[in-house]
Structure formats: C-alpha cells, structure tokens
Structure 1
Amino acid sequence: MTLFGVMDRVLAGRLPVNPPDDPYASILPTPIGNDDFFLTPPGIDDLAPGEVIRRRITRGLVPRPRTVLHQFMVRSTDARGRPAGVTASLLVPKRPWTGSGPRPVVAHNVAIDSLGATSTPSYRLVHGVGADLPPVMPLWLARGYAVLVADHQGPRMSYSEGTMAGHAVLDAIRGMKAVLPELADSPVVAYGYSGGAIATTWTAQLQPSYAPDVTLAGAVAGGTPTDFSLLLDTMNGTIAAGLLGAASMGLAREHPEMVELFGPKALLLASWVKDMSVLPLALGGLMRMRLEDLTDEPNPFETDIARRVIEANRPGATAPAAPFAFFHGSASKLIGDRYIPEAGVTTLVEQWRQGGANVHYEPVAGDHFIGAMTGLPFVMRWTARQFALSGSS
C-alpha cells in the first residue's frame, strides 16, 4: 500500500459523523496566543491603507547587535476588498549609510509557504530563528540596505494568494515611511523567491492602481509560480504535492467559496495541518497525494469556482510601472525547474512587455531549490544597479 493509501485509510477511519458547523472556520489558522502585537484590534475600518495601527522596537531570540528591529502593524486590504491588519518588520543597520542619496530599502518577501500564524516572518524574528531560505537578508544588511519584511500572507495566512500579498507589501512600504521618516525618500526594490516571488510579482502589478503614492525602484523575483493550473501538471501527485495542497488551502482562506469543493477527507486533513509550517507541509508530499482524491468533485479544478480563483491569481492583466527582473531555473542552462514551469514566467514576461513594462528575464542553472542560490549573483547586481539609477549607491 502506498503512503497515500495509508493516509486515506486513516482519514476514512476518523471522519466525523457530522460535518463541522462552519467548514470555513475549521480551516483558518489558530490565532497567536503569546504575543498580542500580532492580533488585529477592532476599529480599523476607518483607517486608510498603510496607516500604522501599532509599532514597537524589539529584539529577537537571535541577537542582532548591529541592527535595529522595528515592528509595526498597518491597515491593509484583503483580496475581497475588506480591511485587514498586516504586520511587518523593518531591520535597519546601526552604522550610518555612507553612499550617495538616502539609505536604500529592500522589501524582502520571504517564501513563507506556511499555514500556521506562528510561521509568519515577524513572529519568527522575535520568537524563533527566522525563516529566510536561502538566507539573503544578511547580504542586504551587509551592504547597508534597510530590509523591510512584510508578513504578506495576511492575517489568515493565505499562502499563494496574490492580491492579499501585493496589498500587504505595498501597505508595509507606506507604513515604513511613518515608522522611520528618514526612509521616506529611500528607493525601494522588492525581492522574493518562490512563495516570496508571488508577493513580489503582485506588488509590482498592483502598485500603479492600489498604491500610486508608492514608488518602486524595481522588483526582482525568482522561481515564480505564475499560473496555478500549470502546477497541477508538475506538482499534483508528486513529492511537491504537500505544498500544492497547502497553497490550495491558502487560496480557500481568502476565497471561502472554495470550501464547497472540499470533501469530508479534505476538511479533516485541513483541520490537522492548518497550523503547520513549511517543512512538515513539504514532507507531506511524500504521500504523493492527488488533490482530487480528497474531494467529492470528480474534476474540482474544472469547476467555475476553481476557474475564477485561478484566474484571479494569474498575473498579467496589467503591466507594472517599475522595472522588473525575473530569474528562473532553465533547461537552457542544463538543469531547469521541474516543479515551477519556466513557461509560465516567459509567458508573463511577454504579456508585461506587450503592456509597455520594462522586464528582464535571466535564465539560471538549477532546479527550484538550487536556482534560488545560482540566481543570487544576478539579484545582487541588478538590485545595486536599480539603486544606483535612483541616486542611491
């Protein structure tokens, strides 16, 4: 019997007699219980997007003697247009910036890829050891850049939902300027890989319409998932299925109508994994499950609900105003990304170029995990160039 067969038998043996009274509530993350800073207070509806709700200067379990850690919560907007409280961390080197112009800022979008609230980057910076893989933040800080880390999955940990992520990053940039006015005129480059690339892509695409007051010097993304429907061919039923399932659950948290597609087994499994971090979720791929085996729908991804959500999370409808660069593991460099199709990125590059955007594509060597590292020299050069063009170098 396969591992999925074992899991399927366990699920079948533990199905409740009656479905949960509120299936949607059963898949939401458990709120953080040991730090009220991360809990959204009532009464944020009248605040403007990006307005600071609370702030603090704090320290983490891992000492950062050369860095000041600011944390703040801003009013943002979820994928359905409702107010949402989003937290963010701002790491600023203590040594003065000696380059020309104001100190540059990297909006570093971590590949959170988790479902549990305690896996959000700002919580991990204070209560854990961080979750930046590969560890790029120290490279930014060593160059004297400030680093802004938005908890871009939002209050419901909506892993893979693009609109929520883009809004969160843009509002964090707005809030940063109020928290540290000396960075108000700093050039900002957004960076992210994999799950963080989703946030970076949507930050750039949504900026002209959602945050025209925010100026980006550029954005660079690697290993970018651009089309959920493509991932069904490369991740469903493979060792990447655990993260695919988690991403589906993240989408459902922001689009409650998707819960209609969850069968009893899917709801039970979701209630078990709703607070997990990326590592156990990724290990769940050893089951090699197919998501359609957890639902009562014969073709769940062909339903109107799934089509609408997939389309809503496919970038390309509008082009970014800021210069953008993609890097991706490419078969043209001997080894390509077998889980996140390169074709999705190259298609988006062409769509944005046709829309008038300045987009560069850099193929790099390596599968999805290796490409994160082989692309770093390009990322560092490209980011430094954008800062130089903006007057800070």
Structure 2
Amino acid sequence: MRSRILSAAAALAGSLVIVAGGALSAPHAWTQPPAEDAAVDAAFYIPPAPLPAGAPGTILRAEPARLALSAPGQPGAIPSSATRMMYLSSDTHGARTAVVGMYLEPQRPWNGPGERPLIAYGVGTKGQGDNCAPSKLLSELVDYRPPFDVIVEYDVLAIYSLLARGMAVAVTDYNGLGTPMIHDYLNRKAQAYALMDAARAALQLPGAGNPGTPVIFYGYSQGGMASAGAAELQPSYAPELNVRGAYIGGPVVDDEYFIGFNDGRADIAPAFAWILNGIAADYPETRPALDAELNDIGKAILEESRNKCAVPAGLAQQYPHTSQWTTSGQPITEVIDRTPVLRDAFAAQRVGTITPAMPVFISSAMNDQGAPYVPIRGMAANWCGGGATVQLDANAVIPPLSGLTGTHVLAFFPALAASQQWVTDRLADRPAPSNCTALP
C-alpha cells in the first residue's frame, strides 16, 4: 500500500518537476506576457478607491481569462472556460475589502442529481507575493522570478479532477494576493470570508447558478484551514448559501502551534514570516511589539518574504530557528506567549471553537510534518462534542518525511480520491458518515 501511494505521488510530483524544469529553462515563455497584456492584468488587480457600496460577494469587475492548459481539444487540457473576477469581501475585522478569484465552468455536463454544483476552492500555500495569486498562476502554471523564487500551480491537479466530474469551481486568491494589500496568510476569518464570497460572486455570473445551487467548501493545507473556517462561520456570515458539506484536507488549525511544531525546519521557515507579516498588517497594535522583539535578521527575513512565493533558498532557510530572529534569543512562540497583544492575535486564528452546521470530511496524515495531526484531531473532537457530523480520515501509512516531498505533500494525493467521492455522495444526498465515537 505504501509503495503504491509513494509511486503515484512520485509520478505526479515528477510531472510537476518536468513542467517547472521547462519554465526554469525558458522563464520568459511562462511569466512575461506582451507589455499591453501585462498592463491590463496589473490594472485588473487594483481595487477601485473608494470601494463602491455592495454586499460581500458583489462583483466589482469580471473578464474572460486564459488558462495555461486550456488549448481546446488537446490531451490534458483543463476542460473549462474561465472568468477572472474581483469581488467585495471582508477582512478579519469585518471591514470591506476587494479580493480576486476565478470561476471555472466545466465543458463536461453534470451527470449527478439536481443542478450543477459549485465547489468553493481554497488553494494550498503559494506564498505572499502578488505573483503567487492563484488567478494568475492558473493562467501561467509556473511563475519564476530569478534567482530563486519559483512556484507551480499544483492545485490544478485537484481542480482538473473536479471539473472532469462536471462540477464548477470558484477559486479565491484570498485577501491581499494579487491586490496591493499584504496577504494575511493563515488568517482564520479573512480566508473563510474570501472563500464564501468567491461562491457568492460566482453565482452572480450568467449561467453559473442561482441562490439554491449546491455548494461545497473544498481545500487542502492553507485551503483546508480556509474550508474549516468557512464551515464554522457560514451560518453567521453566508447563511443563504446552500452548503452541502466541507472537505478539509491537511489544515493548519493553530498558527502558533504550527510555528512551534516546525521551528527549525528550513523548508517551512518562510511560512513563519508570512504569518508574522499578516499579523502585523491585520493587527496594528502588534507592530511595536514585533519591532521590539525582532532583531535585524528577523526583520530582514520578514521584509524579504513578503514579496516572495515558495523561496527555496533565502534568508529564512539560512536562519530556520526563530530564536535566531529575536533580540532575546527566545523562539517566536515564547515571545507570543509573554506578549499579550501577540497572544490575543494568534488566539484569534485557532479553528475548532465553533461547531459547523454541515457535515465535514477531514483528512490528515498522522505523520504530517507540515500540518501537525494533534491539533487537527483536537478540532475534530471539539466539533464532534458540539454535535457536528465529522468523518476524520487519518492516514497512518505515509511515513514521516520532510523536505519538498514531505509527508504533507504526499498526503495530498490519496486524499484526493477519497475527498471527491465524499463530495459526490453529499451532492447525492446520501447520509454523511461519522466516526465521532471512535476518532483515530
């Protein structure tokens, strides 16, 4: 079983490496559109000022979009048309903001019961630079900025599979990716709001659906946290959406725990900086504390990371222990615990405190060295205790592996088939399974 999983994952990962290799050998073919096209793209991502009146999900602008793998009739082409859209959403404090996303309408018919469903899709970690925005990467597939900044739109694997089933997909860029604001990476509320408002916006497009269209929240990694947050907040934030369930794959459910668990890991260190940049942007009261606690190395790491995607070799990798970032020599988690404004801001990011009103399917690898299993199980237990219908799939097969082919990445692949079958069953109104009485 283990060898089959690893072989399948290696084959898929290998295909991405081949694509990335082509991009690296000729980056301009992927990342440099004609000057007039680049200017149009850049203008699209600048929100109107001031923002016009409207409810969350109101579309501010929309246009047809190109997909990197959308050559009609060609093998492997993404079977859909695409619309890029900017829509109103809410930041973590409930203030209005503008977010960009993409609506993908499949060419294949929906053969399930009822009308075509809409998948509100939260992507995995892409980074904090504006070039990391999913609505841009879906048009490019690979973005490379010399000398070391490269990102592959790996979520296309799951998105393609959903489209191949005849399901429409609304992808959100999240708050601040592509647009001028700082992306508040792993912010519980902002991510959830952006995901729900992407669904609201998509349903306003001609032929995309109506207020009663079945909706599923879906995401892995950062997207898993967004989906979990949306599952908790939907009854109060978007009660009109007809949400049938939420797939929550490999989520980060506690930012501080995530930092402490992975402190010292060079491959994950940039994510610590993205979190801190987002906290400082969303909670201005934390900035004096961070300025006082971070040394020159820490400040330089945050500054370098805020405009980068997946940097394989940067300052964060050179100084992976957050104790190297602070004036006190203490790790960031200790600084958070003894600093009230930081402690409060990080506490606000924990998922698992509100019981979802919909069935949820959670997948996680017990040996995940990216999104740790212990708080994920704790989230599931809290939801079960509140009466939610929870199915927790804990993969114990994949061994603990770190690095670019680590357990967190490999667990994405076996969860893909299981999650989409679960989604199909929810859309068919089959009773949702639950293992709350015996969580793994």
TM range (shorter): 0.7 to 0.9
Cα distance in structure 2, aligned partners of 1:242 and 1:57: 33
Residue 284 of structure 1, CA deviation? 5.8
Question: Which residue type is aligned with residue 301 of structure 2?
Answer: L
Corresponding position: 1:276 with 2:302? no
Q: Give the secondary structure class of the aligned counterpart of 1:317.
A: coil
CA distance in 2, matches of 1:98, 1:105: 14
8 Å CA contact retained: 1:112, 1:131: no
Post-superposition Cα deviations, 1:300-322, rounded to whole Å, max 9, x if no partner, equal: 22211221111100012211111
Give the counterpart letter for 1:201 in structure 2: A
Spell out, residue by residue over 1:71-94, the C-alpha distance to the aligned partner (whole angstroms, 9 max, x if none): 111111101221100111011112
CA RMSD of aligned residues (A): 2.3
CA contact (8 A) 1:160 1:251 kept: no
Q: Contact (CA 8 Å) 2:108, 2:165: kept in 1 or not?
A: no
Q: CA deviation at 1:113?
A: 3.6
1:135 paired to 2:142: no
Q: Which secondary structure does the structure 2 equivalent of 1:375 belong to?
A: helix
Residue 128 of structure 1: how far off its partner (Å): 4.5
1:1-393 to 2 correspondence within 5 Å?
34-44=41-51, 46-65=53-72, 66-129=79-142, 131-133=153-155, 135-154=157-176, 155=179, 156-184=182-210, 185-239=212-266, 240-260=268-288, 261-262=290-291, 263-265=294-296, 266-280=298-312, 286-296=317-327, 298=330, 299-302=334-337, 303-330=339-366, 336-364=367-395, 365-366=397-398, 367-389=407-429
How far apart, CA to CA, are the structure 2 residues paired with 1:358 and 1:219? 11
- Identical-pair percentage: 26
TM-score (norm: length of structure 2): 0.75
What is the CA deviation profile of residues 123-165 of structure 1, one whole-angstrom value per residue up to 9, with x for unaligned ones?
2223454613472111111111111101124442111111110
| Contact map agreement 1:72 1:87 (CA 8 A) in 2 | yes
Which amino acid counterpart does residue 308 of structure 2 have in structure 1? M
| Alpha-carbon distance in 2 for matches of 1:228, 1:99 | 38
Kindly state the Cα deviation for residue 200 of structure 1 after the two structures are TM-superposed: 0.8
The one-letter code sitting in structure 2 at the alignment partner of 1:163 is K
Deviations 1:85-122 (Å, cap 9, x if unpaired)? 01110111123334331112221211134110111101
Greater Cα shift, 221-230 or 84-93: 221-230
- The Cα offsets for residues 225-254 of structure 1, whole Å up to 9 and x where unpaired, read as 111232233211123222223223233322
TM-score calculated relative to the size of structure 1: 0.83
Task: Give the aligned partner of residue 28 of structure 1.
Answer: none
Structure 1's 370 and 95: CA in aligned 2 closer, same or farther, altered over 3 A?
closer
Task: Report the residue type matching 1:356 in the other structure.
Answer: G
Contact 1:134 1:372 survives alignment (8 Å): no
Partners of 2:186 and 2:255 within 8 A in 1: no
Q: Which fold has the larger relative contact order, with Cα–Cα distance below 8 Å and residues 6 or more apart in sequence?
A: 1
Cα distance between partner residues in 1 of 2:206 and 2:426: 22
Question: In structure 2, how many angstroms separate the alpha carbons of the residues matched to 1:74 and 1:227?
Answer: 28
CA contact (8 A) 1:236 1:288 kept: no
Amino acid aligned to 1:139: S
- What residue ranges of structure 1 are gaps of 5+ in the alignment? 1-31, 331-335
Query: Is the CA contact 1:208–1:321 (under 8 Å) kept in the aligned structure 2?
Result: yes
Q: Between 153-162 and 50-59, report the one with greater CA deviation.
A: 153-162
**CA distance in structure 2 between the aligned counterparts of 1:202 and 1:114, rounded to whole angstroms:** 19
